[in-house]
Amino acid sequence: MDNILQRLQQKFWPLLSVLAGALTTLAFAPFDLSWLVFVTMALAFYLWNRLPAKQAAVSGWLFGLGLQCSGVSWIYFSLHVHGSAPAVFAILLIFLLCCYLSIYTALAVYTVNRFLPDSTVLRFIVFYPAAWVVFEWLQGYVMTGFAWMQTGYTQIDQPLSGFAPLLGNHAVGGLVALTAGIILLLLKPSPPKQRIVLLLSVAVLWLAGGLLKNVSWTQAQGSPISVSIIQGNIAQKDKWKYAMKQPTKALYRDMSLAQKDVDLIVWPETAVPDYRYRVQPYLQQLRTEMAARNTDLLLGIFVKNREGRVLNSVMTIDGSVYNKRHLVPLGEYIPLRFLIEFFNRFVKIPMSDIISGDDDQPLLQVAGVKVGISICFEEAFARDVIRDLPEAGLLVNVSNDAWFEDSIEPHQHHAIARMRALEAGRYMIRATNTGITSFIGPHGEVISRLPQFETGVLKAQVQPLAGATPFVRWGDGLIVGLCALILLGFAYRGRRSSDG
């Protein structure tokens, strides 16, 4: 077996690297072949361990390229279908983005193979997993970050996700890498005692994760509230048409007024297809009608500030506003301002030049409960969600995944939302335009959801929670710092040994 792999590796390592990365996407939602990530990562580790540092880095880059190109191909819909970009330009832009994102995998592999001791055992169970955590985290930070195809999300329904409230999603990804490394070592000829230790290690790891999934890190605060989520199901091609503005506003208003005995109604991101200052009579009428029912309302809308700049916002019916802080590069803003004219020649995305809200914003309060709000892309960043904790008793995410049609993106996005609820130990109310609209529990479980691409209402009793998970208190700093110290420590030790 090892001889066959060696021959394949020597001739076809570039192809195997890309293939392993591409197949890893099948471990994510909606395919949910969670076990596959261990196979593909084990294959990647095998290749990287056998290649010199520079070739290994190229292999890591190709693995990342396969993962990113297959995993975020849905960006094509927003650029070409809804942004009117020529197909060739859209594909080129996505490819360049994926090329950039893959650099982090390449850097992780190069760091291990170039600067750390040449030990197969240490590479598989320490160095590659630790480097994976550090550089995956960096990918979500540099230039505002693009934190999407993170391997921890593949385990949301598996025992390893039990570590998420303790150390976060990056740690889960690191444990995925550790498990893949152990599998590789078990496939190699080794002394019986070593095999027993490895088997016991992976068994304890997974058992501990399974037990942690049953731990409740937070506790009930006050009484449950009754919540209705409105899914308007407005197609993206119609959303910003002038003729659709009044029918859309009427749809959301009528569906909301049909709700009886609810404490809170939640509308999706930009449910009102207009600026707040232009729909004041509509909002005042809603305010009067909601007050008569003793019901609070959260709605998505665009707001203009005093300078005339646009913000993507969520507001309460009494006028309190949360402005989106973490914007989508190339979707809501252009990272390099001098390129905006060039970009706009090819892509015409509505509201693609907005500004971010202040980092420090007071929490909105609805139905007597403080809520942590995230808008669409923001929930891909754990740091953006937990910044509102432990003060927030509930999490609310509003989104509009109609941009991506019937692709894999809404399913990936929903899995990310589940991970955020699990890390935070909070119920999450998730309101989307075309799906996936759902109520998610504090263990990341889906309580109920609406079918995609249907107009409907989802109603549930939601319990506000108090307290903080360890991850809320520590954030990513603990696991990322620990992994970085391990890498630096071994690198320093290796340098001292070589100097000596």
Average pLDDT score over residue span 113-119: 94
The mean pLDDT of 301-312, rounded to a whole number, is: 88
CATH class for the domain made up of 219-468 = alpha beta
Cα–Cα distance for residue pair 387/42, rounded to 1 Å = 35
Which carries the bigger pLDDT value, residue 432 or residue 354? 432
pLDDT of 451 > 80? The answer is yes
Residues 6+ apart with CB under 8 A from 429: 227, 229, 264, 266, 394, 395, 396, 397, 439, 462
Can you give the pLDDT at residue 495? Answer: 66
How confident is the model at residue 124, as a pLDDT? 97
Measured at the CA of 299, the angle between CA 348 and CA 451, to 5 degrees, comes to 80
| Predicted pLDDT at 305 | 85
- What is the rounded average pLDDT of the residues 207-236? 96
Q: Is the pLDDT of residue 159 over 90?
A: yes
- What is 194-213 written as a DSSP string? HHHHHHHHHHHHHHHHHHHT
pLDDT of residue 368: 93
pLDDT > 70 in the chain, percent: 92
Strands 296-304 and 264-266: parallel
pLDDT tier at 499, thresholds 50, 70, 90: low
Active site residues: 269, 324, 376
Convert the pLDDT of each residue in 93-111 to its tens digit.
899 999 999 999 999 999 9
Element (H, E) at 285: helix 280-293
Q: What 3-state DSSP class applies to 215?
A: coil
Helix (H) / strand (E) containing 411: helix 409-424
The predicted model gives 398-413 an average pLDDT of 94
Residue range(s) of every CATH 3.60.110.10 domain in the chain: 219-468
- With left for phi above 0 and alpha for psi between -120 and 50, is residue 197 left, alpha or beta? alpha
pLDDT tens digits for range 237-265? 898 899 999 999 999 999 999 999 999 99
| Element holding 343 (H helix, E strand) | helix 340-346
